Amino acid sequence: MISVPCPWCDERNSAEFRPAGESKKRPDVATTTPEEWRTYLYTKSNLADWVTETWYHRAGCRRYFAIERHTVTNDIRTSRLPAAQIRLKESRG
């Protein structure tokens, strides 16, 4: 059982979380094309390397957050709030 550092709850067993996969930016629905949209829906980098993923702490604080995890060792090197929340914080100073 790997241990996942939640930005709010610290280290917890991975079973407490729902991994939501590689973090992606949602295309602008006004201008998106089928190719772009379905790439967003389906295509993954699936690297054997460090990847940025979104996880949801289902059995804990119920917060979404982003981690950098190595898909070979399962080591996790960073854990932070979702990008949108960071942008909001910055915008509010």
Partner 1 sequence: MAVNGSNAGTAGTTRPGKPTAKYRAKYSAFSLIKHGLTKGDWPRAWRQHELRKHYDVVIIGAGIHGLATAYYLATNHGITNVAIVDKSYVGSGGSGRNTSIVRSNYLTPEGVRFYDRSVKLYEDLSADLNFNIMFGQMGHLTLAHNDSSLRTMRWRAEVNKLEGIDSEVIGPDDIKQIVPYMDTSDQTRYPILGALFHPPGGTVRHDAVNWGYARGADLRGAEIHQQTEVLGITTDRGAVTGVDTSKGHIATGTVVNCTAGWASLINAMVGLKMPLVTHPLQAAVTEPVKKFLNAVVVSGSLHVYVSQTDRGELVFGASTDPYASYSMRGSLEFTEELAGHVLELMPSIAKMRVLRQWAGLCDMTPDFSPIMGFTPVKGYLVDVGWGTYGFKAGPVSGEQMAACIAMQRVPELISSFDLARFAEGRLVGEKGAAAVGH
Partner 2 sequence: MPTTAIARSPIKPVAPVAVVDGWEVSQRRSTAALRLSDQTPRAKVMAKADANGAFAAAHSTAFGVARRIGDCIEVGSDPGGWLTIGGVGQASALIEAAADAVATAGEFVTVIDLTHGRALMRLTGAHSVGLLNKICAIDLSDAVTPNLSAFRSSVAKLVTDVVRDDLADGTRSYLLHCERSSGQHLFDCILDAGAEFDIDVDGWS
Partner 3 sequence: MAESRRLTPQPGEVIDRSSPITFRWEGDSYQGFTGDTIVSALAANGVDIFSRSFKYKKPRGVLSATFHDPNCTVQVDDEPNVRGAHRQLQTGMVVSPENVWPSLKFDARSANQVVGRFLSAGFYYKTFMKPAKLWPVYQKILGRFAAGGITRADAEHGYYDKRYIHVDVCVAGGGPAGMAAAITAADAGKSVLLVEEEYDLGGHLRYGSADELAALARLRAQVATHDNIEVMTNSVVTARYDMNWIAVIQRQPGISVKGHEIHERLCKVRTGTLVVAAGLIERPYVFEGNDLAGVMLSTAVRRMINLYGVLPGSRAVVLTANPEGDACVDNLIRVGASVTVVDARTGGNVVRAKGGKRVKSVELADGRTIECDLVVTAIGWTAPVPLLNMAGDRPVYDKTAARFFPTDRVAANVLVAGALTGDGTTSELIAHGAAIGAQAAGSPVDVTALARVAHPEMYRSTTHGIVDYSEDVSSKDMVAAKKEGYDSIELVKRYTTVTMGPSQGKLESVNAVAIMAEAHGVKDLNEIGTTVWRPPYVPITLGALGGRGFENTRFSPIQPWHEAHMARPLVAGDWIRPEHYGNPAAEVTNVRTNVGLIDVTPLGKLDLRGADVPRLLNLLYVNKWLKLPVGGVRYGVMCAEDGVVMDDGVTGRLSEHHYMMTTTSSGAATVWEWVENWLQTEHPEWEVHCTPVTTGYASINVAGPRSRQLLRRLVENVDLSNEAFPYMTVRQGTVAGIADCFMWRIGFTGELSFEIHVPAAYGLHVWERLMDSGQDLGIGAFGVEAQRIMRLEKGHFIVGQDTDGLTVGYGADLDWCIKLDKDDFAGKPELVWQSQRSNYQRLVALQPVDPTVVPAEASQLVEGTKSIVGRVTSSRMSPTLNRSICLGYVEPRLATPGTVVTCQLPDRSRVQLTVMNGLAHVDPDGSRMKV
Binding site for partner 3 (CB under 8 A): 1-3, 18, 20, 26, 29-30, 32, 34, 37, 40-41, 54, 56, 58, 62-64, 73-74, 82-85, 88
d(C-alpha 74, C-alpha 50), whole Å: 9
Applying CB under 8 A, which part among 8-16, 21-29, 34-42, 44-52 lies near partner 2? 8-16
- Both tokens assigned to 84: 């949108």
Q: Which of residues 22-81 bind partner 2 (CB under 8 A)?
A: 58-63
54, 64 in Cβ contact below 8 A? Answer: yes
